[in-house]
Structure 1
Amino acid sequence: MPGPVQSIERAAAILRLLAASSGRLGVGEIASSLGLARGTAHGILRTLERVGFVEQDGGTGKYQLGAALLHLGTSYLDVNELRSRAINWADALASRSGEAVRIGTLLDGKVLVVHHVFRPDDTLQALDVGSLLPLHATALGKALLAHDANAAASIRDTELESYCRRTITDPRLLARAATRVRENGWAAEVEELSIGEAGIAAPIRGYGGLVVGAIGISGAVERICDTGRAPEPRLVAFVRDAARAVSRDLGGSRW
């Protein structure tokens, strides 16, 4: 029986390392972490870049997972599986936060709401399952946009609709917001889709750390945000806890 192919094993190790990293990594960092010669690591990275599995930042020269690999991860995960794994955690998040909870995935440049838990009170609410939300004006959308290079590229070439005065319609500002999402691990919206409404969301990761969806809460600004209109830290923590829990159930054990 043929033995393992060393170059494939090394490529897989590089992809796992990038998936586990909270930011981009340079060739030297990757080579040192995996015990590879710098030239070997660079050659593998160039090959992975050509097939879209990694992307190199033009400014820093560092690498991150590429859109082609992210789409493979998304196609691997059936939406029904995402819903079934997340239902209990979504219910718990609604109970802890006192707010409505939505879970979304990317679909044709929008956020498809695949699960919705009503705010746990007696107010009249409409079910959003099946709704399509804009990427640039929602916390769910930003959490997904920040981890999908193809979606980010499509946004750059599109005239972004303004829903409220605070909606981000400048692609450069949206790119900066996406960078903050990747750095912080969560996204927010404050009166960007609807006046008086705010939201917080965090990415859901599947096997290998690939982002396959997002979970978030939404509600009145005065409940979601503090007096300075910044999201309440305890609510951010609740959302991130829920995202990690769903991620663990989907095989993203590091999250």
Structure 2
Amino acid sequence: MGEAVTGGRSSVPRAFGCAVAGVLVLLGCTGGGAARDAGARPAPSTSGQGSPSAAPTAPAVDLIPELDEAKQPRSAAEARDLLSRIMIGPGTLGPEVVPGTPAESDPDRWPVLDRDCVWQSQAPPADVLASRTRYFQIPARDGHRRVRINATVTVHHDRRESGWETARAMEEILRCPSQRLRDGEELKNLLGASVYQGEQMNGWTEDAFSESGQYVSTEDGGPHRYLWHQAQFGPVTVAITGKGAEGFTDAALNALVVQGTSQLLQNAKQALAKEAG
């Protein structure tokens, strides 16, 4: 989903599964304990630029609970209610993080990557019941320039549809490793990975999706570090985008993205998992 238009994501192939394993461990540890479809994978493993896909390995700890299908939303109104219970505020990411301008995306618009690798805005597709992006920032201070962070939650009818969202994202980066978000903003040298549950130590999400590259803008300068981490539970995908800045370390940006993705996923699990016992 194009972060250019609504704060959603760009996309990726399954190119560096091993590189994302460390992120999976962090997310599993920070996700707070509870637990895409084991029987309805939307697409086969896709190797980026000919790279072999990762061999399945058993995760050390499984943090994915059983989905309560009765809790899945059946209407747009129910999906918006679920979304509001999953979405985070700036305080989740720390006291230095404040709302951006605008604070949220237009719920009636959806980003589409066109043939020229430029993100456009259209009406949401039929498989999306609700989607929202909140824009955050860390204002320039303490020797660094402004850092941009976006949080996105998308609710589908079921996990098959949310699975296809990730599958389309993997296809997009193969087609467009460089993308234009809008006039004066570009993503370059994008690489990514998608790791299913049970692969590469992934025991925390039904499908882990990660992307990195460079962000360049006439307003913020660059190139700066660009990160996108996405996770899935049942019909819901959650994601955090981070755009770095001069004077802000890559490690600090990664920590914010991991923290935000972990909390969003934990919220989705709490809202949709079956009750224990």
- Shared fold (TM-score, shorter chain, > 0.5): no
| TM-score, with structure 2 as normaliser | 0.38
Bigger Rg, which one: 1
If asked which structure has higher relative contact order (CA below 8 Å, sep 6+), I would say 2
How high is the TM-score relative to the length of structure 1?
Answer: 0.41
Structure with greater proportional strand content: 2
